[in-house]
Amino acid sequence: MALFLSALVLMPVLVVQFQHDASRASEAADDLAAQQTTPASSQPAQTGMIMAPTSAPPGTLTRFEGVAEGTIIQGFQRITLSTTGQVGGIRYTLTGPGDYSYTLDAQTAPYLFNPHPGGWLTSDVDDGLYTLRAAATNPGIAPATIRFRIQNAAATPRHQPT
Protein backbone atom coordinates (compact mmCIF):
# COMPACT_ATOMS: atom_id res chain seq x y z
CA MET A 1 0.00 0.00 0.00
CA ALA A 2 2.90 2.37 0.73
CA LEU A 3 4.22 1.79 -2.77
CA PHE A 4 0.86 2.66 -4.29
CA LEU A 5 0.64 5.89 -2.33
CA SER A 6 4.23 6.78 -3.31
CA ALA A 7 3.37 6.26 -6.98
CA LEU A 8 0.33 8.49 -6.69
CA VAL A 9 2.39 11.27 -5.13
CA LEU A 10 5.28 10.99 -7.61
CA MET A 11 3.12 10.63 -10.74
CA PRO A 12 2.38 14.39 -11.17
CA VAL A 13 6.06 15.22 -10.63
CA LEU A 14 7.13 12.71 -13.30
CA VAL A 15 4.50 13.95 -15.78
CA VAL A 16 5.58 17.59 -15.33
CA GLN A 17 9.26 16.63 -15.76
CA PHE A 18 8.45 14.59 -18.92
CA GLN A 19 6.55 17.53 -20.46
CA HIS A 20 9.42 19.87 -19.66
CA ASP A 21 11.97 17.51 -21.27
CA ALA A 22 9.76 17.04 -24.34
CA SER A 23 9.39 20.81 -24.71
CA ARG A 24 13.18 21.30 -24.57
CA ALA A 25 13.72 18.55 -27.14
CA SER A 26 11.20 20.19 -29.47
CA GLU A 27 12.94 23.57 -29.11
CA ALA A 28 16.32 21.98 -29.86
CA ALA A 29 14.90 20.31 -32.99
CA ASP A 30 13.42 23.64 -34.14
CA ASP A 31 16.79 25.38 -33.60
CA LEU A 32 18.59 22.68 -35.60
CA ALA A 33 16.08 22.96 -38.45
CA ALA A 34 16.48 26.74 -38.49
CA GLN A 35 20.29 26.43 -38.69
CA GLN A 36 20.07 24.00 -41.60
CA THR A 37 17.86 26.36 -43.63
CA THR A 38 19.93 29.47 -42.84
CA PRO A 39 22.56 30.27 -45.50
CA ALA A 40 26.08 29.32 -44.41
CA SER A 41 27.32 32.90 -44.79
CA SER A 42 24.94 34.14 -42.08
CA GLN A 43 25.77 31.40 -39.57
CA PRO A 44 28.23 32.25 -36.81
CA ALA A 45 31.71 30.78 -37.20
CA GLN A 46 32.25 27.53 -35.35
CA THR A 47 35.62 26.94 -33.77
CA GLY A 48 37.42 23.62 -33.84
CA MET A 49 35.59 22.43 -36.94
CA ILE A 50 37.48 21.39 -40.06
CA MET A 51 35.66 22.14 -43.28
CA ALA A 52 36.26 20.03 -46.39
CA PRO A 53 37.51 21.98 -49.43
CA THR A 54 34.89 22.65 -52.07
CA SER A 55 37.23 21.87 -54.96
CA ALA A 56 40.12 19.51 -55.48
CA PRO A 57 43.56 21.02 -54.98
CA PRO A 58 45.47 21.70 -58.19
CA GLY A 59 47.88 19.06 -59.34
CA THR A 60 51.61 19.37 -59.86
CA LEU A 61 54.02 18.38 -62.60
CA THR A 62 56.60 16.42 -60.62
CA ARG A 63 59.33 15.17 -62.98
CA PHE A 64 60.28 13.95 -66.43
CA GLU A 65 61.05 10.27 -66.85
CA GLY A 66 63.23 8.90 -69.63
CA VAL A 67 65.53 11.91 -69.74
CA ALA A 68 67.56 13.76 -67.11
CA GLU A 69 68.59 17.41 -66.94
CA GLY A 70 71.80 18.07 -68.93
CA THR A 71 72.19 14.56 -70.37
CA ILE A 72 73.03 13.56 -73.92
CA ILE A 73 70.39 11.44 -75.64
CA GLN A 74 70.14 9.76 -79.00
CA GLY A 75 68.04 7.25 -80.87
CA PHE A 76 64.58 6.26 -79.71
CA GLN A 77 63.45 7.85 -76.43
CA ARG A 78 60.33 7.30 -74.34
CA ILE A 79 59.85 10.51 -72.33
CA THR A 80 56.90 10.85 -69.94
CA LEU A 81 55.85 13.34 -67.30
CA SER A 82 54.93 12.30 -63.75
CA THR A 83 52.13 14.30 -62.14
CA THR A 84 50.06 14.43 -58.97
CA GLY A 85 46.46 15.51 -58.66
CA GLN A 86 44.32 16.77 -61.49
CA VAL A 87 46.39 18.51 -64.16
CA GLY A 88 44.13 18.11 -67.17
CA GLY A 89 46.04 17.62 -70.39
CA ILE A 90 49.69 18.48 -71.04
CA ARG A 91 51.04 20.66 -73.84
CA TYR A 92 54.65 19.83 -74.67
CA THR A 93 56.79 22.41 -76.46
CA LEU A 94 60.21 21.33 -77.73
CA THR A 95 62.62 24.08 -78.77
CA GLY A 96 66.11 23.67 -80.14
CA PRO A 97 68.83 24.97 -82.42
CA GLY A 98 67.96 28.00 -84.50
CA ASP A 99 64.26 28.63 -84.36
CA TYR A 100 63.24 24.96 -84.08
CA SER A 101 59.92 24.54 -82.26
CA TYR A 102 57.54 21.59 -82.04
CA THR A 103 54.29 21.36 -80.03
CA LEU A 104 52.46 18.21 -78.98
CA ASP A 105 49.43 17.64 -76.74
CA ALA A 106 49.04 14.67 -74.41
CA GLN A 107 45.58 14.34 -72.93
CA THR A 108 45.84 11.44 -70.44
CA ALA A 109 48.40 9.89 -68.12
CA PRO A 110 50.98 8.65 -68.71
CA TYR A 111 51.73 11.93 -70.47
CA LEU A 112 53.97 10.60 -73.24
CA PHE A 113 55.99 12.91 -75.47
CA ASN A 114 55.49 10.93 -78.66
CA PRO A 115 56.17 12.62 -81.98
CA HIS A 116 56.48 9.01 -83.23
CA PRO A 117 54.42 5.95 -82.26
CA GLY A 118 55.43 5.00 -78.70
CA GLY A 119 58.02 7.75 -78.21
CA TRP A 120 60.48 9.97 -80.03
CA LEU A 121 63.10 9.16 -82.66
CA THR A 122 65.71 11.85 -82.05
CA SER A 123 67.42 11.31 -85.43
CA ASP A 124 64.61 13.39 -86.95
CA VAL A 125 66.09 16.56 -85.42
CA ASP A 126 69.49 18.23 -85.64
CA ASP A 127 72.11 17.67 -82.98
CA GLY A 128 72.23 20.41 -80.36
CA LEU A 129 70.77 21.73 -77.14
CA TYR A 130 67.02 21.30 -76.64
CA THR A 131 64.48 22.40 -74.07
CA LEU A 132 61.30 20.43 -73.43
CA ARG A 133 58.58 22.36 -71.62
CA ALA A 134 55.41 20.75 -70.27
CA ALA A 135 52.45 22.97 -69.35
CA ALA A 136 49.22 21.72 -67.79
CA THR A 137 45.92 22.79 -69.32
CA ASN A 138 44.46 23.33 -65.82
CA PRO A 139 45.28 26.90 -64.76
CA GLY A 140 47.47 27.67 -61.77
CA ILE A 141 49.87 24.75 -62.23
CA ALA A 142 53.54 25.64 -62.71
CA PRO A 143 55.10 24.24 -65.91
CA ALA A 144 58.03 21.82 -65.89
CA THR A 145 61.11 22.31 -68.07
CA ILE A 146 64.12 20.13 -68.83
CA ARG A 147 67.21 20.77 -70.96
CA PHE A 148 69.29 18.13 -72.72
CA ARG A 149 71.55 17.60 -75.72
CA ILE A 150 70.77 15.54 -78.81
CA GLN A 151 73.86 13.91 -80.27
CA ASN A 152 72.87 11.44 -82.94
CA ALA A 153 76.02 11.51 -85.06
CA ALA A 154 78.85 9.34 -83.84
CA ALA A 155 81.77 11.41 -82.65
CA THR A 156 84.81 11.10 -84.87
CA PRO A 157 88.23 11.23 -83.25
CA ARG A 158 90.36 14.26 -84.15
CA HIS A 159 93.59 12.27 -84.39
CA GLN A 160 93.87 8.81 -85.80
CA PRO A 161 96.22 6.58 -83.84
CA THR A 162 99.33 5.62 -85.82
Domain identity same for 16 and 77: no
**pTM for this structure?**
0.61
Does residue 39 belong to any structural domain of this protein? no
Predicted pLDDT of residue 47: 47
Q: Is the per-residue pLDDT at 122 higher than 80?
A: yes
In a domain, 51, yes or no: no
Examine the domain organization and report whether 100 and 27 are in the same domain: no
Say if 138 falls within a structural domain: yes
80 lies in which domain range? Answer: 60-150
Query: Is residue 25 one of the residues assigned to a domain?
Result: yes
In this structure, the answer to whether residues 69 and 115 fall within a common structural domain is yes
Residue 161 resides in a domain? no
CATH number of the domain enclosing 140: 2.60.40.1930
DSSP conformation letters of 130-155: EEEEEEESSTT---EEEEEEE--SPP
pLDDT tens, position by position, 5-20: 666 666 665 555 656 5
State the pLDDT confidence band at 58, using cuts at 50, 70 and 90: confident
Number of domains forming the structure of the chain: 2
DSSP string, 78-125: -EEEEEESB---EEEEEE-STT-EEEEEE-SSSEEE-SBTTBEEGGGS
**Domain annotation covers residue 40:** no
